Amino acid sequence: MKRLAIFASGSGSNAQNIIDYFSNNKKAEVVLILSNKPTAYVIERAKSADVPYKVFNRDEFYQSLQILEWMREYRIDFIVLAGFLWLVPDYLVEAFPNRIVNIHPALLPKYGGKGMFGGHVHEAVIAHNETETGITIHYVNKRYDEGNIVFQASCPVLPGDTADDVASRVHQLEYEHFPKIIDKLLAELD
């Protein structure tokens, strides 16, 4: 049984989906949720799902060993970033080589990098008259959105789409694929 930690800064609908997927799957379990935002809805989801959670500030994340201590305490095998907005520090990447994945709501290398998150991504996609967009699941390295790509899936951008329309189509792709790809990567760890 692999033990997963999920980092999230926002609503956490992907975190929820991953918790649900692995609650019916004996191969892994979400054992810890971590957030830099005490008011993030993902914390409510952790409480409802009875998954332990931790909130940390910038100093704890970048200047202390607190996160690594939690990773040890909860015996974390694999880390998932699901709507987590801070750049992952070197010490964490080095402690979990090829064991941290992120999901990005566009087809990287397009529309990635600092500041490209949430609605900004979908607005940029529309402003550039793209006819398709999608999701990218990639390993995390020391630079935003530049780790090796594991998986991509695409969906159309239709004439007249708003950023919200695109976001909801992209979210459906995320829900469909992210847990299955995590499952596959975990199997490859053995």
Determine the interface stretch with ligand GRF among 26-34, 44-52, 89-97, 99-107 (rule: CB under 6 A). Answer: 99-107
Element (H, E) at 30: strand 28-35
Q: Which amino acid is at 111?
A: Y
**Choice between 95 and 163, CB closer to ligand GRF:** 163
Residue 134 binds ligand GRF (CB under 6 A): no
CB nearer to ligand GRF: pick between 13 and 66: 13
Q: How far apart are CA 134 and CA 166, in angstroms?
A: 9
For CA atoms 113, 115, 118, 120, the dihedral sign is: negative
Q: SS3 string of 147-168?
A: CCEEEEEEEECCCCCCHHHHHH
Work out which of 4, 5, 6, 8 binds ligand GRF, going by CB under 6 A. 8
Residue in 104, 122, 138, 171 annotated catalytic: 104
30 is an interface residue for ligand GRF by CB under 6 A: no
Q: From the list 2, 35, 71, 83, which residue makes contact with ligand GRF (rule: CB under 6 A)?
A: 83
Q: Is 98 in the site for ligand GRF (CB under 6 A)?
A: no
In the residue annotation, 120 being an active-site residue is answered as no
* Other Cβ atoms closer than 10 A to 135: 24
Residues 6 or more apart whose Cβ sits within 8 Å of residue 44: none
Tell the smallest beta-carbon distance from residue 81 to ligand GRF (Å): 7
**Token digits for 38?**
């005490």
The residue within the footprint of ligand GRF, chosen from 4, 5, 79, 82 (CB under 6 A), is: 82
Residue nearest to ligand GRF (CB): 83
CB burial class (10 A; 0-12, 13-18, 19+) of residue 75? Answer: exposed
- Does residue 145 touch ligand GRF according to CB under 6 A? no
100 binds ligand GRF (CB under 6 A): no
Q: Within 10 A of 77 (CB to CB), how many other CB atoms are there? A: 17
Regarding 103 and contact with ligand GRF (CB under 6 A), the answer is yes
List, by residue number, the catalytic residues. 104
- Applying CB under 6 A, which residues contact ligand GRF? 8, 10-15, 82-83, 103-105, 118, 171, 174
